[in-house]
């Protein structure tokens, strides 16, 4: 049994509440500290939860709660120009992708964690720590402190905990893409469970029917990195004009953009991914989720991997005698998997972000697309069939 009895979890996004619930199951008392005063962080948009993420949520009893507010997407279509390549069904034996609004996911996980007895404190921005031989004390921006045996950094891609563990830790790398989502007043064939991944003349976009009528779409625009505040200062009319120009030769891309009311465009800002992080932990601090492995939105796996990591970390802390052994076992279990997913996403980003060269580079995407269509099992099997055996004791090696 572990000597770790208490934990401070920094960040109340996805990984934080999941870590809180999983630690509770593992017999570790955890409190989650979130920087913002409320759960929704203002970052909108939707997110696809993959079967592996859902499987990890089953372990902490939160899968039903999330499924209740998600939309299943059992079919995906690849389209190149006007040509539909094929339908990529859900892998046999696995549940479909669950589409969910990010703010709803944060809220559902928060509510579920609180209902399970996890304490969550808002308006607590971590600014520093004191790590001693007997414990760790977190200092928050409001001048308060909290002490426990360990501290878990679930504080997202701009993690403070990452730099407290290693001041030389790398920061997020821009993918060279800006993200946008919207609902258009444009009717697609009514097929609510189908999402289409479309490769246009110059770039990638996706779309699906909107349950209330119209169509939801998402697109990336190659662009130098800019902060969310900077991106939102540009009028939505201007973004729609640029997106329209970029997808002028694409159908239904051009129509979707042309039929979008500027008020229904969500500017998501620059897309980032984390390079490999050399140090995942110190003696009493450890990272989970985007803080240590943000594979970029192109992977469709960021949230699912964050959930898996939080659960695996709790399992290691349950079974291994001390923090150092548990953290090392956790890193050994997680690093190869998350870095493989990040490498796949980086290949996709490379082709998406090619800007003016994208026409020439589009063929680079073809092998990925064909492998996906022809061999979905080979493309996604390892990622999506991953299941944590919670009852199996974690081992140090």
Chain residues that interact with ligand FAD, rule: CB under 6 A:
10-16, 33-36, 41, 45, 47-48, 124-126, 154-156, 160, 179, 268, 289-291, 294, 297, 300-304, 306
**What is the torsion angle, in degrees rounded to the nearest 10, for the CA atoms of residue 181, residue 184, residue 186 and residue 187?**
60
- 248 burial type by CB count under 10 A (0-12 exposed, 13-18 middle, 19+ buried): middle
HSE-up of 250 (CA within 13 Å, CB side)?
Answer: 25
Q: Tokens for 337?
A: 């998997």
User: Among residues 12 and 252, whose Cβ is nearest to ligand FAD?
Assistant: 12
Minimum CB separation of residue 364 from ligand FAD in Å reads 22
Report how far residue 285's alpha carbon sits from residue 10's, in angstroms, rounded to the nearest whole number: 10
Looking up tokens 């299941």 gives 387
CB of 167 to ligand FAD, least distance (A): 15
Question: Closest approach of Cβ 186 to ligand FAD, in Å?
Answer: 22
Residues recognised as catalytic: 197
Interior CA angle at 365 toward 364 and 367, to 5°?
85
**Residue closest to ligand FAD (Cβ):** 13
Looking at the Cβ atoms of 21 and 325, the one nearer to ligand FAD is 21
The residue among 2 and 301 lying less far from ligand FAD, judged by its C-beta, is: 301
Q: Which two tokens stand for residue 355?
A: 């800007």
Residue 160 C-beta: closest distance to ligand FAD, Å: 4
- Exposed, middle or buried, 190 (CB in 10 Å: 0-12/13-18/19+)? exposed
Query: By C-beta, is 34 or 331 nearer to ligand FAD?
Result: 34
DSSP secondary structure letter of residue 392: S
Helix/strand/coil for 86:
strand
**Secondary structure of the chain: what % helix, strand, coil (to 5)?**
40, 25, 35
d(CA 94, CA 77): 18
Phi-psi region of 252 (alpha: psi -120 to 50; beta: other; left: phi over 0): alpha
Q: For 295-332, give the DSSP string.
A: --GGGS-HHHHHHHHHHHHHHHHHHSSSHHHHHHHHHH
User: Which is nearer to ligand FAD, 26 or 268 (by Cβ)?
Assistant: 268
Instruction: In angstroms, give the least distance from the CB of 305 to ligand FAD.
Output: 7
- Distance of closest approach, residue 62 Cβ to ligand FAD, in angstroms: 14
CB 4, min distance to ligand FAD, A: 21
Omega before 261 cis (within 30°)?
no
Nearest-angstrom CA–CA distance, 103 and 195: 21
Distance between CA 38 and CA 2 in Å, rounded? 33
| Token couple for 217 | 């779409």
**2 vs 297, which CB is nearer to ligand FAD?**
297
Between 179 and 214, name the residue whose CB sits nearer to ligand FAD: 179
């Amino acid at each position: 049994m572990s000597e770790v009895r208490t934990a401070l979890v920094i960040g109340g996004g996805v990984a934080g509440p999941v870590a809180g619930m999983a630690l509770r199951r593992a017999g570790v008392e955890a409190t989650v500290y979130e920087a913002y005063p409320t759960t929704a962080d203002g970052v909108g948009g939707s997110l696809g939860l993959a079967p592996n993420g859902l499987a990890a949520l089953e372990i902490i009893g939160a899968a039903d709660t999330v499924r209740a507010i998600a939309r299943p997407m059992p079919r995906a279509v690849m389209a190149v120009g006007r040509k539909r390549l094929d339908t990529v069904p859900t892998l046999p034996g696995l549940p479909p992708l669950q589409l969910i609004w990010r703010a709803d996911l944060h809220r559902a996980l928060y509510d579920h964690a609180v209902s399970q007895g996890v304490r969550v404190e808002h308006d607590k921005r971590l600014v520093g720590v004191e790590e001693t031989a007997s414990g760790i004390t977190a200092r928050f921006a409001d001048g308060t402190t909290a002490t426990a045996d360990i501290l878990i950094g679930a504080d997202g891609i701009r993690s403070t905990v990452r730099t407290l563990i290693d001041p030389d830790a790398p920061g997020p790398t821009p993918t060279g893409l800006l993200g946008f989502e919207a609902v258009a007043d444009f009717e697609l064939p009514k097929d609510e469970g189908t999402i289409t991944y479309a490769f246009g003349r110059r770039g990638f976009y996706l779309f699906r029917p909107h349950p209330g009528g119209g169509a939801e779409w998402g697109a990336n625009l190659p662009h130098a990195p800019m902060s969310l505040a900077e991106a939102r200062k540009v009028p939505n009319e201007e973004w729609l004009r640029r997106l329209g120009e970029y997808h002028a030769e694409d159908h239904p891309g051009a129509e979707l953009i042309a039929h979008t009311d500027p008020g229904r465009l969500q500017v998501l800002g620059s897309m980032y991914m984390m390079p490999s992080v050399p140090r995942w932990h110190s003696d009493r601090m450890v990272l989970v989720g985007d803080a240590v492995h943000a594979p970029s939105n192109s992977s469709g796996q960021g949230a699912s991997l964050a959930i898996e990591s939080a659960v695996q970390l709790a399992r290691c802390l349950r079974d291994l005698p001390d923090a150092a052994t548990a953290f090392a076992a956790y890193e050994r279990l997680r690093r190869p998997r998350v870095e493989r997913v990040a490498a796949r996403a980086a290949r996709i980003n490379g082709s998406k972000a090619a800007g003016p060269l994208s026409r020439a580079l589009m063929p680079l995407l073809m092998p990925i697309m064909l492998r996906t269509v022809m061999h979905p099992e080979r493309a996604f099997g390892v990622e999506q069939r991953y299941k944590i055996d919670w009852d199996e004791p974690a081992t140090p090696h």
